[in-house]
Amino acid sequence: MHDPMVVAFEIRRPWPERQARPFGKTRWRFRGAFWNIAGRGLYWPGLVTIWHVEPEGRDSGTVCKYRSHKWHVHHWRIQVHPFQNLRRWALTRCEWCGGRSRDGDRVNISKQWDRDRGHWWRGERGLFHQGCTSIHEAHNACLCRDGIYESSLSGWDYGQCLKCGKRREWRSGDRRDAPIDAVRRLLATIPAGTRDAGKLAEARQMWDAYRLATTPPQPDGSA
Q: What is the pLDDT of residues 140-176, one digit of tens each?
A: 999 888 878 777 655 667 788 888 989 887 666 555 5
> Which residues constitute the domain of residue 59?
1-81
Please answer whether residues 202 and 190 qualify as being in contact, where contact means their C-beta atoms are separated by less than 8 angstroms: no
Tell me if 46 is assigned to some domain: yes
Residue 212 has pLDDT above 90, yes or no: no
Angle at 181 between CA 178 and CA 187, to 5 degrees: 145
HEC letters along the chain: CCCCEEEEEEEECCCCEECCCCCCCCCCEEECCEEEECCEEEECCEEEEEEEECHHHCCCCCCCCHHHHHHCHHHEEEEEHHHHHHHHHHHCCCCCCCCCCECCECEEEECCCCCCCCCCCCCCCCEEEHHHHHHHHHHCECCCCCCCEEEEECCEEEEEECCCCCEECCCCCCHHHHHHHHHHHHHCCCCCCCCCHHHHHHHHHHHHHHHHHHCCCCCCCCC
Tell me if 115 is assigned to some domain: no
Number of domains in the chain: 1
Selection from 73-77, 114-118, 179-183 with the highest mean pLDDT: 73-77
Tell me if 157 is assigned to some domain: no
Tell me if 32 is assigned to some domain: yes
Distance CA 114, CA 5 (A): 10
Angle at 16 between CA 31 and CA 133, to 5 degrees: 80
Q: What is the mean pLDDT of residues 117-146?
A: 87
Q: What is the mean pLDDT of residues 205-216?
A: 82
pTM, to two decimals: 0.70
Which one, of 50, 52, 53, 34, lies nearest residue 42 by Cα? 34
Residue 221 has pLDDT above 50, yes or no: no
Please answer whether residues 118 and 125 qualify as being in contact, where contact means their C-beta atoms are separated by less than 8 angstroms: yes
Tell me if 102 is assigned to some domain: no
> How high is the mean pLDDT of the chain?
85
End-to-end CA distance of the chain: 30
What length does the chain have? 223
CA distances from 9 to 12, 50, 71, 108 (A): 10, 6, 11, 21
Tell me if 58 is assigned to some domain: yes
Res 222: pLDDT: 47
CB-count exposure of residue 29 (10 Å: 0-12, 13-18, 19+) = buried
pLDDT tens column, 1-38: 568 889 999 999 999 988 878 887 788 988 889 999 98
Tell me if 223 is assigned to some domain: no
Tell me if 110 is assigned to some domain: no
